[in-house]
Amino acid sequence: MMHFADSLTFSGRKVVAAWAALPFPALCGSSLPDILSAHQQDVPWKLLSSWREQKVSGCFAQSVVLRGICKERPASCRGQPRSPLHSCESPEQVLQQYLHTQFPGAFSTSHVLQQPCDTRPPFPQFFSPLLTRRGFLLDKAQGHSSAGVESIPALAALQSSPGLRSLLSGLCQDLRARNVRRWSSFFSAGVEQDDFQEALEELKTLSQCYETGFGADGSEDEADSN
């Protein structure tokens, strides 16, 4: 995972954030272009990492994996206007086009796997009754319980994004606010005061690497070089 994260970071950045959609919000009978076309204002996955911002404000680089959306699904629903996503020839192209639209200039890799995520026991059964046994959304609940969900479509993403600046700078501020001299066990474990202060400065410098003005202008050129 550390080497994978390294492949998504440049310009001094070392941290990526995790996002996921579990399950991926796919209506029963809809195609991937239909699903993504309904999420033009906000991406259909949520932040797993712990910082206050819950929306994607931009991206330097990312890797996205979607699984469980059947490739044989129809290209579009009857009566729905066609979009650039509907003109793509494969699910991989659909997802890549969507990422390019949502994050212009970002370095993006994407993969679409047909096999869904298995949710049979002992997987926690916390699903809504609005899901079919294969994890697709329904307009109204069916008779079976949520325990009957055997698999779900899922999406996972790792992103190097400007929002990480607030997470890293917040961590740095919290550590500076602590009087570590009162924690004798902290330094008796082998940590030196000078090393601790140096680590704080490195954390502050790392957070500055995620400022939009610091790296956004060169992110597209660096992405192309990768």
Q: 141, 146, 136, 128: which is closest to 26 by C-alpha?
A: 136
178 or 204, greater pLDDT: 204
Domain positions in the chain: 1-160, 165-209
User: What mean pLDDT is predicted for residues 66-78?
Assistant: 63
User: What mean pLDDT is predicted for residues 98-118?
Assistant: 93
User: What mean pLDDT is predicted for residues 198-220?
Assistant: 74
User: What mean pLDDT is predicted for residues 16-34?
Assistant: 90
User: What mean pLDDT is predicted for residues 70-76?
Assistant: 50
pLDDT at position 167, please?
A: 86
pLDDT at position 94, please?
A: 94
As a whole-number percent, the residues of the chain with pLDDT over 90 amount to 33
pLDDT at position 61, please?
A: 92
Other Cβ atoms less than 10 A from the Cβ of 28: the count is: 13
Q: 48, 41, 49, 7: which is closest to 165 by C-alpha?
A: 49
